[in-house]
Structure 1
Amino acid sequence: MSIELDHSIVSARHRDESARQLARLLGVPSGPAAGGPFYAVYVNGGLTLDFIETDEDFPVQHFCFRVGEAEFDQILARLQASGIDYRSSVRGPVDRQINTDYGGRMVYWNVPEGHQWEMLTVSYARPPRL
Structure 2
Amino acid sequence: MTVQLNHTIVAAHDKHTSARFLADILGLQVSPQYGPFIPVEIPNGVTLDFMDHTDSGSGSGAIAPQHYAFLVSEDDFDAIFGRLREAGLTYWADPFHRREGEINTNDGGRGAYFEDPNGHNLEILTRPYGSGS
Q: Which has the higher helix share?
A: 2
Tell me whether the two structures share a fold, i.e. TM-score over 0.5.
yes
Matched with 1:104 is: 109
Aligned length: 126
Moved over 6 A (4+): none
Long gaps (5+) in structure 2: none
Deviation at 1:45, TM superposition (A): 4.7
Instruction: Please give the per-residue CA displacement for 1:19-63, whole angstroms capped at 9, x wherever unaligned.
Output: 101000000111333x32111111115111000002334321000
- The worse-fitting range, judged by mean Cα deviation, of 63-72 and 48-57 is 48-57
Matched, 1:13 2:13: yes
Long gaps (5+) in structure 1: none
Does the 8 Å contact 1:9/1:51 carry over to 2? yes
Q: Secondary structure at the match of 2:107?
A: coil
Q: Aligned to 2:74, which of 69, 76, 81?
A: 69
Matched with 1:121 is: 126
Deviation at 1:114, TM superposition (A): 1.1
Amino-acid identity (%): 39
Does the 8 Å contact 1:85/1:94 carry over to 2? no
